[in-house]
Amino acid sequence: MKFLDQAKVYVRSGDGGAGAVSFRREKFIEFGGPDGGDGGRGGDVWAECVGGLNTLIDYRYQQHFKAKTGGHGMGRDRHGAKGGDVVLKVPVGTQIIEEDGETLIADMVEIGQRVLLAKGGNGGFGNAYFKTSTNQAPRRANPGLPGEEKWLWLRLKLIADAGLVGLPNAGKSTFLARTTAAKPKIADYPFTTLHPGLGVVRIDAREFVLADIPGLIEGAHEGVGLGDRFLGHVERCGVLLHLVDASQDDVVGAWRTVRAELDAYDEALGDKPEIVALSKCELVPEDELAAKARKLKRAAKATPILLSAVTGTGVEAMLRAMATAVETSRAENDESRAATATRIWQPLPRDGDDGRDDDDDDY
């Protein structure tokens, strides 16, 4: 299945049905009066978050979504039917954005979440609606109101607990394949990974989702290489695993290059908890590896984990450190959501507790 994380779609809700002008004409009934029914409401356009999807590839082949027009009113006080709705099914983590590319409409983060994108037009009134004691035979009816239409951007940001970042060919895909059941493409040349990948890590009866994104190079925030568009997939991660290739000469420069790109993309991304690791340790002699680890420790202000996804050295220690960081991040997020809910659902003041004197209520 091909991966697509951005799509532009056109949505249009249905027009309302027109009201009818009709009079009751029946044998033995002298003054039948108006009996024109109202038009039905136009169909709505919804977005629904569903499970089992991790790409927006469906919206490459269909970009236009139009709901049905409401049914027209008819005689004998028959109202038109409501137009059929259209539902856009999107994967978890999809953001729906206005055409300007900046205004966020909705962030779909829970399965079953539904958002109204375009509301259908109301149906018009039939002439039966306008009858009064002074106008007993109205000969007018309203047309239905037009529906809404707009262009929208769909942007997918994969929801993962931890994210892999680093320069190209730093061993990210090899680590993902070693620790999860994912099968990313692995080769000995840069930019082997062209699309983000996900895998589920299990360690000590704990599990979390790990995301692998294409490598970053200097100037990625300006569009160099594959650019930084895939960094959106690690925005939701609670912890970042920064892999630095131990076989290259300047490990500190490699670490600083990626850190600069993270900060240039979003300062909040650069502030996320980071675990630094030296990968491909099996390719470097022990004394040289120790010297590079000391240099990287001074620069990163943290002790790097020596890692080899090929031989398995340091893999379990890395996974346990990541699992602990993920649990801490989840606990902080739960506390933040609970605090937000408490602020939103404040109890209403009881009578006499609104800060006003009862004697001042002269109205």
Q: Which residues are annotated as a binding site for Mg(2+)?
A: 173, 193
Q: Between β-strands 104-108 and 305-306, what pairing exists: parallel, antiparallel or unpaired? A: unpaired
Phi and psi (nearest 5°) for 253?
Answer: -65, -40
Binding residues: 166-173, 191-195, 212-215, 279-282, 308-310
Closest CA to 171 of 215, 234, 207: 215
What are 278's two structure tokens?
């030296």
Which two tokens mark 194? 């062209």
Q: Look at residues 211, 208, 203, 160 and name the one whose alpha carbon lies nearest to residue 184.
A: 211
Residue 68 to residue 256: CA distance in whole angstroms: 55
Beta pairing partners, 268:
none
Binding site per annotation, positions for GTP: 166-173, 191-195, 212-215, 279-282, 308-310
Contacts of 288 (CB under 8 A, 6+ apart): none
Spatial strand order of the sheet with 104-108 comes to 64-66, 6-12, 149-156, 94-98, 104-108
Instruction: Return left, alpha or beta for 329; rule: phi > 0 is left, psi -120 to 50 is alpha, else beta.
Output: alpha
Q: What share of the chain is helix, strand, coil (3-state, %, to 5)?
A: 25, 25, 50
